[in-house]
């Protein structure tokens, strides 16, 4: 008894939102798997960035996305430096740097707060 086998998929946008999301998820995993295989077999550095239908970014990179993209940016002529992808990456990098600065400031503030609490305890002992 023979099965139906593989069916040819028409290359047109999927109309059903549910099917669209499922297909995106499965195919995204397939693309990332192929990129992983390519980097493993050849030692190549690779980065893949995909935006979902819900406009969420998904990325794969070996050794990591940022190092591959930064390396490719160094090889671009200056007129290509302000492409939309570069602006997105720059925005993400700036946001990450700002986040790190806020975390550092929070840690310093918490340390200062602990010092002040200890100082208050010392002063309360003398009352």
Distances in whole angstroms, Cα of residue 80 to Cα of each of 4, 71, 112? 48, 14, 46
Distance of alpha carbon 80 from alpha carbon 73, whole angstroms: 9
Q: 126 versus 106: which is more confidently predicted?
A: 106
- DSSP-derived letter for residue 20 is H
- pLDDT tens-digit series, residues 28-76: 999 999 999 999 999 999 999 999 888 888 999 998 888 888 888 777 6
Say what the pTM is.
Answer: 0.52
The beta strand positions in 17-103, using DSSP E, are 46-51, 57-62
Question: What's residue 28's pLDDT?
Answer: 94
What is the SS3 assignment for 107?
helix
- In sequence order, what are the beta bridge partners of 75? none
């Amino acid at each position: 008894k023979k099965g139906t086998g593989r069916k040819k998929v028409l290359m047109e946008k999927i109309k059903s939102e549910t099917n669209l999301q499922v297909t995106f998820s499965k195919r995204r995993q397939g693309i990332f798997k192929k990129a992983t295989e390519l980097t493993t077999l050849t030692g190549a550095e690779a980065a893949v960035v995909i935006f979902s239908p819900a406009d969420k970014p998904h990325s794969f990179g070996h050794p990591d996305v940022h190092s591959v993209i930064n390396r490719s940016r160094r090889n671009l002529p200056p007129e290509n430096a302000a492409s939309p992808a570069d602006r997105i990456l720059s925005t993400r990098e700036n946001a990450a740097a700002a986040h790190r600065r806020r975390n550092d400031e929070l840690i310093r503030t918490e340390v200062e707060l602990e010092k002040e609490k200890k100082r208050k305890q010392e002063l309360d002992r003398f009352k």
